[in-house]
A and B are shown apart, each in its own frame.
Chain A
């Protein structure tokens, strides 16, 4: 797989299309699976991890899956970070040691991590709010792998995982939401408390322990045992529309009460991004968040959501350095980031507008 190519493309989940895509960035499901005949990854020797990798890769081939395998062993830190920023591998897999890798689907909507915390971490991501579609795809992928592999399974406890918090279905159902209005009006904490009470977890863009930069929040189930996959998906599917409706309401109240102020904030954010000559990753996320909301509220009409979604990812440190083709210090990155954003915003404008 040519990782440099990732900087010229964008994943399916960044398309900015699909149901509720003004607020829902993407829907994601992952399944944790382990082979019955091996110790879990943390207890496996390097020889055993190599064997696990071989068995899993052979199963993917036999199942006729169109996945491109990338071993992480010989990748440098920048390339590994690129895969993390792209949401194709977890930080744990990137920072791990020993034989490990990831198989990636052609549109980047599928990835199978090998020798992460569990032997297999299967993931499917789609743009917009589309959990039933994602489940259909991942369930099919899991079935096809299961025909070739011998999963560790116990009738009482279900799929056995290295950490008991994943045992049972091994499923993590997650939806990534853009919630700038709820964040701005501080109503988000109330939402979090309510979600926590019904056993749902809230995390930042890059998972556990990360900040919600750019007002992105991942909401996912915590319980994996005692409910079926469909029930767990339904639980989340029932809750997400309420959050979407709170966010829309907060946006409308905001625009109703302080239209000029909001229009000013959005336009200034767009202006800074179009003209800045040095900009940090954190400021970029913050400003892009305002611009993204501005497009959805009709306050900016010469820019596509897809471009903004891509900028969120392409301005991350590893993407930026790969795009520039060199390793950069923080100050140099800030300058390169500003230049890249200026160019992309010029290209990303609608043709009729750029002609003006």
Chain B
């Protein structure tokens, strides 16, 4: 069946009843989109990852889509890696993945607030200078920027000595 607005093959078939009379509409993809009757264009660069990402956003919702893309800036672990392997990458992941992680924690423990003992010394994990310096050190080594790596290593030693 051809499109009622151009000569291409129709891929969208709609029917509606207006004042008791039934009307059928057969359109090709582009004409249907122009008429606002079809989903938007598929994502550009339709690599498998992008398609999966797109499907997740479309079908499961924006929050899950964001989580699927979430990764920790300090250790590089992604939320999806955590969901697959069950282990987090670093203390900062609890903040990086909070929207997805807190519901899981609540389900597992039936609670979401710690009421036990606390250490006297505390630094919020995202603010830990060591964790940040180590993340930069890993990046520098991966880039083979050994000069920066040496500087960062010295800074880490200094941090350690200061403690």
Residue tally, chain B, CB below 8 Å to A: 43
A40 to B87, CA, bound (A): 9
Q: Which of the candidate stretches A144-152, A179-187, A283-291 sits at the interface with the other chain? A: A144-152
Query: B125–A154 contact, CB under 8 A?
Result: yes
Chain B residues with CB under 8 Å of A228's CB are 115-117
Residue tally, chain A, CB below 8 Å to B: 43
Query: A39–B117 contact, CB under 8 A?
Result: no
Query: A34–B91 contact, CB under 8 A?
Result: yes
Shortest distance between the CB of A53 and any CB in chain B (Å): 14
Binary CB contact string for chain A from 259 to 275 against chain B (1 if under 8 A, 0 otherwise): 00000000000000000
Which residues of A (119-135) have their CB < 8 Å from a CB of B? none
Chain B residues with CB under 8 Å of A157's CB are 94, 105, 112-114
A150 to B162, CA, bound (A): 13
A13 to B117, CA, bound (A): 26
- A37-B130, A225-B109 as given contacts; A155 in contact with B117, CB under 8 Å: no
A114 at the binding interface (Cβ < 8 Å): no
Chain B residues with CB under 8 Å of A155's CB are 114, 118, 122
Query: A36–B88 contact, CB under 8 A?
Result: no
- B135 to A, closest residue via Cβ: A39
Please report the number of residue pairs spanning A and B whose Cβ atoms sit closer than 8 angstroms. 133
Which residues of B (148-163) have their CB < 8 Å from a CB of A? 159-160, 163
A223 to B124, CA, bound (A): 24
A160 at the binding interface (Cβ < 8 Å): yes
Chain A residues with CB under 8 Å of B159's CB are 37
Binary CB contact string for chain A from 196 to 212 against chain B (1 if under 8 A, 0 otherwise): 00010000000000000
Binary CB contact string for chain A from 141 to 170 against chain B (1 if under 8 A, 0 otherwise): 010001100111111111110111101110
Shortest distance between the CB of B130 and any CB in chain A (Å): 3
Query: A225–B77 contact, CB under 8 A?
Result: no
A83 at the binding interface (Cβ < 8 Å): no
- A42-B89, A160-B94 as given contacts; A226 in contact with B101, CB under 8 Å: no
A150 to B117, CA, bound (A): 15
A232 to B105, CA, bound (A): 17
- A43-B89, A160-B125, A168-B116 as given contacts; A37 in contact with B131, CB under 8 Å: yes
- A39-B75, A146-B119 as given contacts; A164 in contact with B125, CB under 8 Å: no
Chain B residues with CB under 8 Å of A147's CB are 120
A227 at the binding interface (Cβ < 8 Å): yes
B59 at the binding interface (Cβ < 8 Å): no
Which one of B87, B117, B138, B163 lies within 8 Å of A169 (CB-CB)? B117
Binary CB contact string for chain B from 89 to 100 against chain A (1 if under 8 A, 0 otherwise): 111001100000
Chain A residues with CB under 8 Å of B118's CB are 153, 155, 158
Shortest distance between the CB of A233 and any CB in chain B (Å): 11
A40 to B95, CA, bound (A): 15
A117 at the binding interface (Cβ < 8 Å): yes
Query: B101–A164 contact, CB under 8 A?
Result: yes
B129 at the binding interface (Cβ < 8 Å): yes
Task: Please name 6 further chain A to chain B contacts, defined as beta carbons within 8 Å, in addition to the given A37-B134, A225-B114, sorted by A numbering.
Answer: A36-B128, A40-B90, A139-B117, A162-B88, A226-B115, A227-B116
A-B contacts, 11 listed (Cβ < 8 Å): A38-B131, A43-B75, A146-B120, A160-B125, A163-B87, A164-B101, A164-B105, A168-B111, A225-B111, A225-B112, A228-B117
Q: Which A residues have a C-beta under 8 Å from some C-beta of B? A: 34, 36-40, 42-43, 45, 48, 55, 117, 139, 142, 146-147, 150-160, 162-165, 167-169, 171, 199, 223-229
| Shortest 6 CB-CB contacts between residues of A and residues of B | A226-B111, A37-B130, A158-B114, A152-B91, A43-B89, A225-B109
